[in-house]
A and B are shown apart, each in its own frame.
Chain A
Amino acid sequence: MEHIRTPKVEQVKLLDRFSNKSVTGTLHLTATHLIFVESNSTSAQEIWILHHHIASVEKLSLTTSGCPLLIQCRNFRLVHFVIPRERDCHDIYSSLLRLLRPVSYDELYAFSYNPKQNDQEREEGWQLIDLAAEFERMGVPCDQWQLTDVNREYKVCKTYPRDLYVPITASKPIIVGSSKFRSKGRFPVLTYFYQEKKAAVCRCSQPLSGFSARCLEDEHMLQAISKANHNSRYIYVMDTRPKLNALANRAAGKGYENEDNYSNIRFQFVGIENIHVMRGSLQKLLEVVGTRSLSMTDYLVGLENSGWLRHIKAIMDAAIFLAKAVTVEGASVLVHCSDGWDRTAQVCALGSLLMDPYYRTIKGFMVLIEKDWISFGHKFADRCDQLDPDPKEVSPIFTQFLECVWQLTEQFPQAFEFSEWFLIQIHEHVHSCQFGNFLGNSQRQREDLQLKERTYSLWAHLLSEKQNYLNPLFSPSVAESHPVLEPSTQAYHFKFWRNMYNQYDRSMHPRQSILKHVLTLQESKRELEGTVQALKTKLQKFGVSTSPLKPQTPPRERSLPPRPHTGGERTVEGSSATENGYGELMGSFGSKNEPGVVTLEFGVARMTC
């Protein structure tokens, strides 16, 4: 609290990003949030911005109406305040500068956040996802794959989890030898096992091959992976980098596998760009979609120039290649990039999601993230800029993964148990530092921070509001008949994800949502069925068989309950002319009152505090 000099400023204006509209209200600064409360009592909207969400604060030069403060958030919110007095503005500005740069993990919100659960509930929350059970579900350990305790003390690889699965024939000396030949010690381990063909998806980092170095243990390791699969005589080694990048790495003593040294491998580059390219691409994309009065031409040209969708397609292509190799050819695949925690995580996770319907359920998707991203050491703290920022380490790698999944939900509307709001909510919390799951860079670091004792799990929280994230069109029977998704990679399937990157620009969103409507219908149906069931039970208590009751119930007996306040009617009113800026009729409409506020879709603009 000592950083907050001015906890409250009144008469602050909030400008809309895309129109000339503004609202006036009060700005509050707390230890965790920046809160804006609109003064207009009828439709008083509140905006809660978590300090961790703030990416940058900018004080613009003084204007006649006050001092503008521009705040950019990691969840793609951009707010533009005008504060009447420059001193207040400066106080808020300098407080925020301090608050959004926590110096130690203890300052993160997760360590002070308390959802009023007792210790037992918290522990249960952490036990929801059990990776050992997940490997068991895949059929591991089995006669070819075993659990190794080589990394029990994080001695072989600091960024891997303790429990790792390797081929039966890979002995400890082979593992240790291989790990010494791999960047950051990340030797090849199992991440997904395709039981039907006994084919494995393994991951690792690049070999330290330089121009000519080789390592017998590493060659042995790959041989062991190959031998563990009787269906195929070869394994694929997918280097997810562009060839040029891999070549350049050789000069630094790193590089890629030489096919001459490894027997029976098929080596393949897939050309996903590195974290720096991705960071730049997102920045360009956001610039385009944040432009005022954007023309269609500038939008499409900007979208193209950002290259964002091209990168998304590259990741998708790689995942499809992986899924095909495993499910069609029955071959095992080893995936790596440089360090094996960015592109590798993207491709392994997305590939598994294509192959296994379980990962397309709510619970399964949590497991997938927990496995391929959290436990295998995707550097969330660095990539999401949680602490001690190094701008060169920040990159939207995980966001891209979520987007790839979204692109799939658009192509296969019935294949996923969850809707896009689930993805958006996860994205929100990856950056919120409100829950312990994504803190830190590796499993080991998380243990040091005692996250399970001191913070809460996001998964429990999301499961408690599962209703909000369901996809009403989900059809488990489709999953049974088509377990493996075969997405089309035609260019026109790759669309801009407006509900993510413009999620807070409410004037852009559809005013009515089919998804929400159908969910409401299903909800009310469930309620009615519940009522009927309750009444039946009551009747049975009186010893009456319920069947003769049916003809007596009038057909209009069960009807639509009032829709929850997120319903469609209000949102129609909310769509208004000024937000859309059709016209240039300056001044002539100024005096008209705006109709009520649009209520946002599920999951958006709601902070759990």
Chain B
Amino acid sequence: MELSEHIKTANVEDVTLRRPFHPALRGTLCVTSHHLLFSDRKDEASWQLLILLKNIDAIEKRAVGSSGTITIKCKDLLVLQLEIPGMEECLNIASSIEALSSLESVTEMYPFFYRPSHLTLNGPWGLSSTEQYYKQTERLWDRWRVSTVNSDYSVCPSYPSAVIVPREVDDDKLIHSARFRQGGRFPVLSYCHHRNGMVIMRSSQPLTGANKKRCKEDELLLQAVIDGSELGYIIDLRSAQQAQQARMTGGGFESKSFYSHWKRIHRHHERGKVVQESLIKLVEACSDPSHSVDRWLSKLENSKWLSHVHSALSTAGLVVECVERDGHSVLVHGSEGTDNTLLVSSLAQLILDPASRTVTGFLCLLEREWIQAGHPFQQRCAHSAYSHARLKQECPIFLLLLDCVWQVWRQFPLALEFSEALLLRLAQEVYASNYGTFLCNSEQERCAAGVKENTHCLFQSLLRPDIEEQYLNPLYEPTDLAIWPSVHPQSLQLWTGLFLRWTEYAQNMEEAREEVWSIVKEHHEQAGPDRTNNTLSTHCDTLTSFENLMDELTIL
């Protein structure tokens, strides 16, 4: 079925658009295969609103006399109202939106049709690959190697074709280890710390089952990771009880007796549906203006969203503590190893590694730890906070990551090269995008769908100098140190920039942000590019030019 067949009414005149904190507008509404377009009817400087249909999470129809009202709730949390004259048109538009906003087939999605004039499809896709990362990271060369055991995705369907593993472990052992891990996600390197060479590994749970199976190769693999040093830590993102229960369904945990050099620590993290429901509850609480303070606090608490932020940051802090302060390697896993595992390992890197705090570094981190590592974006981000559809595998873990990064930025506003704007952009792109970056669930699926050949890469486009500038943090001052965030509940805050994005409050904040920008810019212009000089040399320079002038005077 052609997409256009879903469109029964393509154009409606005299539509009224209502947005929060803006006057109502009248204009023309168009539905295309991938967009909803509204343009007002003023002759000069006509204003347009273009919404990706994929961005629409839910719609509500209401009949008022002969006309209908459609409330559109977007995945980026914007809520719009359209008043459409004519009941039939209204219903047609609504059904088109419903059908076209929930396309299942990847190749029908907009990134496959997005062809801006300034971009070409040929050329490399993405920022880096496992091989390139390995080549650039000299500290890995000695003890680690790139394995292509998964080049045809048969060992682990959700892993990329190349992974980094201990040099002394051959591919054969990897295959055995993969059979012993859920989804074949055997332990691979996630990060090697630049200060002490200690590593963060990640995997899925071992399939020990009820009768405590073991896998020699898996044990050897982990033994090779710590390589003679006496201890490593396994951070299990489930409570000890949950890990025990997992054995009943074939899963399990690394037992002390078989992995004697690894110390296991359990940290309970919510996952899946629970986190998705948190998001739904939080957004609902944020969008009801009638709450009293008490009711608001109780709703905020009840959503548990901040509790998830709290546990994610605490566990990331714990991982960093093991690596940086204690000087030991860490293996992180939960059950599947595609959600909380990635959340914790990438947050830990942000805290530890100055390289991941630049715009490029951060995007590379996301590419490596989320896109290539096989976070199932398509399943997790199918719906956002407004959808009434029955939840399948939705879970806003990536949004949770962005929130945690924002919390770190709040506490270290000088340490990250990027600003909140980048996080907000990513929060939007992950649900609906012109680009192919967040399509599909794994590298394998992307290959099969031809994503790299037929879509543009978001990260590449964000790094174009004119675009990147919008996302820079004017206050950035790199630091080599680990940036330990405080995880006291008093130190964590609701991410107003995202959750209260469409309120008047956001406007005051925007103005204040601009003011910071202009102060810093003004200062940079005055101070010049070389910011390491101190006052003394400044004065010397000034004096030199003064002396030059005196010389000229004498000549005169």
* A residues at B contact (CB < 8 Å): 18, 289, 294-301, 303-304, 307, 309-310, 312-313, 411-414, 472-473, 475, 478, 488, 490-496, 498, 502, 505, 507-514, 517-518, 521-522, 524-525, 527-528, 531-532, 535, 538-539, 542, 544, 549, 552-562, 568-569, 572-573, 575-577, 579-585, 588-589, 592
Contacts and interface: CB of A to CB of B under 8 A. Distances in A.
Sorted from nearest, which 7 A-B pairs have the closest CB atoms? A491-B296, A582-B317, A300-B301, A299-B489, A561-B535, A413-B512, A559-B533
Interface string B304-318: 101101100011011
A492 B321 contact: no
Contact of A560 (B318, B492, B527): B527
Contact of A552 (B412, B477, B483, B545): B545
B548 interface: yes
Q: Indicate the member of B317, B410, B413, B532 with the most A CB atoms within 10 Å.
A: B413
B10 interface: no
A18 B545 CA distance: 55
B500 interface: yes
Interface stretch (B115-123, B285-293, B455-463): B285-293
B553 A496 contact: no
A577 to B, nearest CB: 4
A492 B531 contact: no
A413 B320 CA distance: 35
Contacts of A495: 493
Interface string B374-409: 000000000000000000000000000000000000
B526 A558 contact: yes
B51 interface: no
Interface in B315-350: 315, 317-318, 320-322, 324-326
B414 to A, nearest CB: 5
Nearest to A494: B293
A555 B483 CA distance: 33
20 contacts: A300-B301, A412-B508, A414-B512, A473-B516, A490-B505, A496-B490, A511-B484, A514-B414, A517-B414, A525-B523, A554-B545, A558-B528, A559-B531, A560-B532, A560-B534, A561-B535, A577-B320, A582-B320, A582-B321, A592-B326
A200 to B, nearest CB: 30
Contacts of B530: 556, 559
Q: Indicate the member of B306, B325, B488, B546 with the most A CB atoms within 10 Å.
A: B488
A539 B413 contact: no
Contacts of B226: none
B469 interface: no
B325 A592 contact: yes
Q: Indicate the member of A492, A532, A554 with the most B CB atoms within 10 Å.
A: A492
Interface string B405-441: 0000011111100000000000000000000000000
Contacts of B248: none
Contact of B512 (A473, A492, A542, A583): A473
A174 B326 CA distance: 79
Given A524-B527, A575-B484, A585-B321, 9 more contacts: A511-B412, A517-B475, A525-B526, A532-B542, A553-B541, A556-B541, A569-B477, A572-B415, A583-B321
B436 to A, nearest CB: 36
B539 A517 contact: no
Contacts of B241: none
B78 interface: no
Contacts of B306: 296, 300
B485 interface: yes
B533 to A, nearest CB: 4
Contacts of B481: 572-573
B292 to A, nearest CB: 6
Contacts, number: 261
Given A300-B306, A559-B528, A588-B326, A513 B413 contact: yes
A575 B486 contact: yes
B495 to A, nearest CB: 12
A299 B492 CA distance: 11
Contact of A296 (B307, B413, B483, B515): B307
A498 B492 contact: no
Contacts of A527: 535
B504 A488 contact: yes
A18 B489 CA distance: 12
Contacts of B490: 289, 294, 299, 496, 498, 502, 508
B36 interface: no
A309 B291 CA distance: 13
Given A525-B523, A538-B546, A558-B528, A510 B325 contact: no
B508 A580 contact: no
B247 to A, nearest CB: 23
A495 B295 CA distance: 14
B63 interface: no
B283 to A, nearest CB: 12
A558 B307 contact: no
Q: Indicate the member of A18, A289, A569, A577 with the most B CB atoms within 10 Å.
A: A577
A492 B539 CA distance: 49
A581 B298 CA distance: 26
A335 B9 CA distance: 60
A72 B467 CA distance: 53
Given A296-B492, A552-B549, A589-B325, A576 B411 contact: no
B537 interface: yes
B325 A511 contact: no
A512 B412 contact: yes
Given A513-B413, A558-B538, A582-B487, A297 B326 contact: no
Contact of B489 (A294, A492, A555, A579): A294
Contacts of B293: 304, 309-310, 312-313, 491, 494
B138 interface: no
A513 B415 CA distance: 11
A111 B295 CA distance: 48
A382 B414 CA distance: 44
B538 A561 contact: yes
Nearest to B535: A561
Contact of B321 (A294, A518, A577): A577
A496 B494 CA distance: 11
A418 to B, nearest CB: 15
B127 interface: no
A512 B301 contact: no
Given A582-B318, A589-B321, A577 B413 contact: no
Contacts of B228: none
A539 B553 CA distance: 10
Contacts of A294: 488-490
A576 B484 contact: yes
Nearest to B479: A572
Contacts of B475: 514, 517-518
A304 B298 CA distance: 7
Contacts of A488: 503-505
A29 B528 CA distance: 51
A225 B338 CA distance: 71
A525 B485 CA distance: 31
A509 to B, nearest CB: 7
A142 B314 CA distance: 63
A301 B301 contact: yes
B274 interface: no
Contacts of B533: 556, 559-560
B208 to A, nearest CB: 24
Contacts of B309: 296
B99 interface: no
A542 B483 CA distance: 53
A544 B553 contact: yes
Contacts of B286: 492
Contact of A473 (B487, B515, B534): B515
A521 B413 contact: no
Nearest to B492: A296
